[in-house]
Amino acid sequence: MSLHSTAAQLVTLASEGGEHGGNHESLNPYFVGGMAFFALMLLLWITTRFNRDR
């Protein structure tokens, strides 16, 4: 299999599912971003609690 034929197959595969745009109806980007931010802030808080000896 050559690089050209592999690339052509990948483009064909990607364009078949293109009508939906890749987003699910129940995924709200603000909710997902907010939860990711909350998780990072929680990890930051936990990390700072373990660094009290300095």
Distance CA 35, CA 30 (A): 8
DSSP assignment letter at 52: T
Query: Is the whole-model pTM more than 0.85?
Result: no
- Residues 41 and 7: their CA atoms lie apart, in Å, by 40
pLDDT in tens, 4-42: 888 888 777 777 655 555 667 788 889 999 999 999 999
Going from the C-alpha of 51 to that of each of 24, 39, 43, 45, the distances in angstroms are: 40, 19, 13, 10
